[in-house]
Amino acid sequence: MAASNADIAELFSRYADLLEIQGANPFRVRAYRNAARVVADSGRSMSDRMAAGEALDDLPGIGKDLAAKIGTIVRTGALPQLAELETRVPRALGELMNLPGLGPKRVKSLYRELGIRNREDLQRAIRSGALRSLHGFGPKTTARIAAAIERRAVAPQRYRLVDAEQAAAPLLACLGAMPGVETVEVAGSLRRRRDMVGDIDILVTARRGAPVTHAFTRHDAVASVLAVGATRASVQLHNGMQVDLRLVPAASHGAALHYFTGSKPHVVAVRGIAVAKGLKINEYGVYRGGRRIAGRTEDEVFAAVGLPFIPPELRENRGEIEAAADGRLPTLVELGDVRGDLHAHTVASDGHDSLQAMADAARALGYDYLAITDHSRRVRVAHGLDTRDLRAQFAEIDRLNAGFRGFRLLKSAEVDILGDGHLDLPDAVLSEMDVVVVAAHYQLGLPAGKQTARILRALDNRRVQILAHPTTRLVNQRPEFAAHMESIFAAAAERGVAMEINAQPDRLDLDDVHARAARAAGCKLVVSTDAHAAAGLANMRHGVDQARRAWLAASDVLNTLPLERLLRALRR
Ligand code: DGT
Ligand code: CA
Ligand code: CA
């Protein structure tokens, strides 16, 4: 199977990590990191582009050389330069860089001075106290690293939703094309749109005796077959993910889909209701005595126990069954409700596209508005803007807006919250913006009390309207910072500051649980992409997924409003 965008991005970022540890030219390192991001953000797969004969070097930041490397990865699944570098630099060093507090410099000195090549080595060095002799490893840093290693050792391997989705796509297509197959659907946590999933579950209905399961195990993406029978198969893919396939007759489709969509606590609770009504539910149907009374569709299964259809995103046994029984299920927000995006970067900071290109992409999505939120000056790695740069950008936005009808670029910035809670830009320029977005990017390791106070102080500034990626977590890479989110939500609700659900697959921040708590606390919410390229605007659906898991209706999400009402609603 051709390498997916996630595979390509993974190889490029691993290559960048190793180059950086080796002390390679920073521009070279940056080029690979950018390439990883551009590929990961791209709405279409590189292999589709190549199949369509499109030149890959049209992509922002991708020159001839990188385009050729992408071609090689798509065709062979590997990057020879990386393999070569891995013979000289231990591959696990790249993974060490993902631990909080460990950048390339520190990893390099761990390796060069103590010969530490992987997590186990590092853990041993921490225990023996060997790290203490090393410059830059104080007791606090060391304790933080030790805690992170522990956390990972116990946490089971889970995957980002997008990566599972991308890995599933060719399998679904292949199953759909098999003779005798009637329906193909994802189930499990992937269908519930959890931010991280453990494995991919697929449900197929097919004519009796269709040789689906065995054929499935011969797919190119399959590395090993864990189990296979007439109605099920479990396999491991080359990328390490497990896939569980189940085959049921059409008459059981709804019951099986409900069962395998889960979550387990939800299914168990629904089954409990059935028992109370003298019914029995399993993956083949709903039964009264020995007679099947429902099972062909999920609607039928829910109706049999007296419930309306419950959207998969809500099926976590977090009150959805009671709400459904009382007719209190929310009408969940949908992608089509979104009228604009309130977090996007351009080439002025660390984005890849111009104002014009970002505006064109937003208009192509049918949006009414797009806020341009380049970084402020403190974020130097991203070429943050100062007051003068911003005023120049605002003038350019005015010029472009004069040419638009039914669409407006909003003047904004992603203003960095400094360590003490002050903002990185003066009030004068904040008051020239249509919307003020703030975010923390540094000093994420402060203790909870200080971190909370820092954020609250930022929200005290009366010009602040949106707190972006409020917990600063990165999916699978960095946990939330230590802060009392309840206090932040309460303060934000009181001051009228909206909380962002950041739709970047790496962030999804707020997550579903926090977003629901924020709404319960009375906060306004927005769903924004934090796009770093025009294609990144397409990530909106990932944010909407998490908003739905947070029980949000369109009326809970400010950027479902038309422009004038949005601006009024953002006002404090
Ligand atoms: P994951 O894969 O950890 O992200 O989460 P799920 O929810 O996809 O869990 P998974 O793949 O183990 O199972 C898929 C669904 O199958 C699960 O949501 C409910 C159903 N299921 C699996 N095992 C059991 C079980 O032992 N009892 C019941 N009632 N349902 C089960
Ligand atoms: Ca699963
Ligand atoms: Ca499974």
DSSP string, 210-272: --HHHHHHTSTTEEEEEEE-SSEEEEEETTS-EEEEEEE-GGGHHHHHHHHH--HHHHHHHHH
Which tens digits make up the pLDDT trace of 342-379?
A: 999 999 999 999 999 999 999 999 999 999 999 999 88
At 187 the pLDDT is 98
Q: Extract the tokens encoding 400.
A: 């472009």
Taking CA atoms only, the protein residue closest to ligand 1 atom 19 is: 262
Distance 260 CA to ligand 1 centre (A): 6
Mean pLDDT of the chain: 93
Which tens digits make up the pLDDT trace of 281-316?
A: 999 999 999 899 999 999 999 999 999 999 999 999
Distance 188 CA to ligand 2 centre (A): 4
Amino acid in the structure at residue 126 = I
Taking CA atoms only, the protein residue closest to ligand 1 atom 23 is: 264
Find the mean pLDDT for residues 324-349. Answer: 97
502: Cβ–Cβ under 8 A, 6 or more apart, which residues? 343, 468, 469, 508, 509, 510, 528, 529, 530, 543
Ligand 1, pocket-test mutation among 201, 257, 273, most atoms within 8 A of CB: 201
Residue 487 three-state SS: helix
CATH superfamily, domain 335-570, is Metal-dependent hydrolases (3.20.20.140)
Residue 302: Cβ within 10 Å count: 20
User: Among all chains, which residue has been given the structure tokens 């390498």?
Assistant: 3
Regarding predicted confidence, which is higher, 478 or 97? Answer: 478
In CATH, which of 3.10.129.10, 1.10.10.10, 1.25.40.10, 1.10.150.110 is domain 5-154? Answer: 1.10.150.110
The answer to whether the CB of 95 falls within 8 A of the CB of 121 is no
pLDDT at 510 over 80: yes
- What is 252-325's CATH number? 3.30.210.10
pLDDT at 90 over 80: no
At 55 the pLDDT is 86
Residue 341: Cβ within 10 Å count: 30
354: Cβ–Cβ under 8 A, 6 or more apart, which residues? 346, 347
Rounded to an integer, what distance in angstroms lies between the CA atom of residue 120 and that of residue 133?
A: 19
**Closest atom of ligand 1 to CA, residue 199:** 2
pLDDT at 155 over 60: no
Find the mean pLDDT for residues 256-280. Answer: 96
Enumerate residues with CB within 5 Å of ligand 2 (an ion): 188-189, 199, 201
Q: CB of 262 closer than 6 A to ligand 1?
A: yes
Distance 264 CA to ligand 1 centre (A): 5
Fold annotation for 159-247 = Beta Polymerase; domain 2 (3.30.460)
Distance 161 CA to ligand 3 centre (A): 14
pLDDT at 555 over 80: yes
Q: CB of 312 closer than 6 A to ligand 1?
A: no
pLDDT at 86 over 90: no
Per residue in 387-404, is it b (16+ CB within 10 Å) or e — as a string? bebbeebbebbeebeeee
* Comma-separated ranges of CATH 1.10.150.110 domains in the chain: 5-154
pLDDT at 1 over 60: no
Q: CB of 234 closer than 6 A to ligand 1?
A: no
Which tens digits make up the pLDDT trace of 47-58?
A: 888 888 888 888
At 136 the pLDDT is 84
Q: CB of 126 closer than 6 A to ligand 1?
A: no
pLDDT at 451 over 90: yes
Ligand 1, pocket-test mutation among 186, 190, 260, most atoms within 8 A of CB: 260
pLDDT at 327 over 60: yes
* Comma-separated ranges of CATH 3.30.210.10 domains in the chain: 252-325
* Comma-separated ranges of CATH 3.30.460.10 domains in the chain: 159-247
Find the mean pLDDT for residues 474-494. Answer: 94
Taking CA atoms only, the protein residue closest to ligand 1 atom 24 is: 264
Q: What percent of the chain is predicted at pLDDT more than 90?
A: 73
Q: CB of 316 closer than 6 A to ligand 1?
A: no
Regarding predicted confidence, which is higher, 254 or 20? Answer: 254
At 372 the pLDDT is 98
pTM reported for the whole predicted model: 0.77
Taking CA atoms only, the protein residue closest to ligand 1 atom 25 is: 264
**Closest atom of ligand 1 to CA, residue 194:** 4
